[in-house]
Amino acid sequence: MFEKLKALLEKYDNINKQLMDSDVISDQELYKNLMKEYKNITPIIEKYKEYLKAQAAFDEAVELLDAGGMDKDFKEMVQAQYDESKESMAKTTEELKILLLPKDPNDDKNVIIEIRGGAGGEEASLFANSLYRMYTMYAESKGWKIEVLNANETELGGYKEISFSIQGEGAYSRLKYESGVHRVQRVPETESQGRVHTSTVTVAVLPEAEEVELEINEATDLKIDVFRASGAGGQHINKTESAVRITYLPTGLVVECQDERSQYKNKDKAMRVLRSRLLEERQRAQTDEIASVRRSQVGTGDRSERIRTYNFPEGRLSDHRIGLTIYRLEYILNGNLDEVIDALATADQAAKLSAQEEE
């Protein structure tokens, strides 16, 4: 590990020099790529320098203790330096192990989230709206930008399905653990008998793909249909054929968008969703080939996996992947997701560390 860190420090210094070179500065693409790499390496280098500082203090203390000839007070001070630096070295070593874990290449990307009502009819649609509200409130607290891509509303204000993008630094790194089946247990607003019902909602979190990542030949790969948009209870119905349905012919994947009144805007949004779904499928195929990678993940992609229960009578949220239970359900549904996401990220890191040590 420390040989790797030495090499990384050399690379860091080299990039630093390149970033001050006028030829590099004038090449926008090269400068952008170097800045991104520099930014990714910086936390590791800062932690490594912290380790080197502790190591220097430790070596100095060892040398003084071995030499002897100190009075009692000075020896106690040197012993304290020895203990503190040894503890600091052990702590920073563990932190460096985590920082050196292979980074998910999608972590810095924007995301597209798709929420669909599952079992439970109207109640599932209403809870889909609750989850949409939770994610948008969380995004707003981070200063991220939200854009609805497509929505199929019900008469009672729920969503049969809604897809939206969240744009902001680290959006995927925080929200990727949300993919899966979310189960809700509560007395439905549509139920007069006061019985607790169980419903489900599926959530898919897709890293938003850039055009350069996937080459799509619009002439041969796509079938594009336009139709009139529809809304809940006859509301918001567009009189023109502005809604867009795109079929990706090689696989039969279908994407629709009717949120905008402009056919051009709907097509643009639908293409963003299509690219992201195709990227997800390609990455899923790659990870399926690597069993060890799948074992080291805390369920970050399988939308058929039941990941969480929201129990309203008990005010409880339970994440089944890591055995997490929190009795502040309303607080979390108001967009305060950091406690849950931090716990999932920590468990993911621990699993990956364990898998790495087994190799």
Q: Over the stretch 114-169, which tens digit does the pLDDT of each residue have? A: 999 988 888 899 999 999 999 999 999 999 999 998 888 888 889 999 999 999 98
CA 221-225-231 angle, 5° bins? 135
Count Cα atoms within 13 angstroms, Cβ side, for 252: 0
Identify the CATH assignment for 111-351 out of 3.40.50.880, 3.40.50.2300, 3.30.590.10, 3.30.70.1660: 3.30.70.1660
The structure tokens listed for 18 are: 């390149």
| For residues 257-279, average pLDDT | 82
Select the more confidently predicted residue: 14 or 36. Answer: 14
Residues 6+ apart with CB under 8 A from 359: 292
Three-state DSSP class for residue 109: coil
pLDDT bucket at 330, cuts 50 / 70 / 90 = very high
Select the more confidently predicted residue: 39 or 136. Answer: 136
pLDDT bucket at 287, cuts 50 / 70 / 90 = low
Residues composing the chain: 359
- Determine the Cα–Cα distance for residues 180 and 183; give it in Å rounded to an integer: 10
pLDDT bucket at 306, cuts 50 / 70 / 90 = confident
pLDDT bucket at 192, cuts 50 / 70 / 90 = low
- Determine the Cα–Cα distance for residues 237 and 225; give it in Å rounded to an integer: 18
Facing residues of 96 across strands? none
Per-domain residue ranges of the chain:
2-99, 111-351
- Determine the Cα–Cα distance for residues 246 and 116; give it in Å rounded to an integer: 19
Identify the CATH assignment for 2-99 out of 1.20.1530, 1.20.58, 1.10.20, 3.30.420: 1.20.58
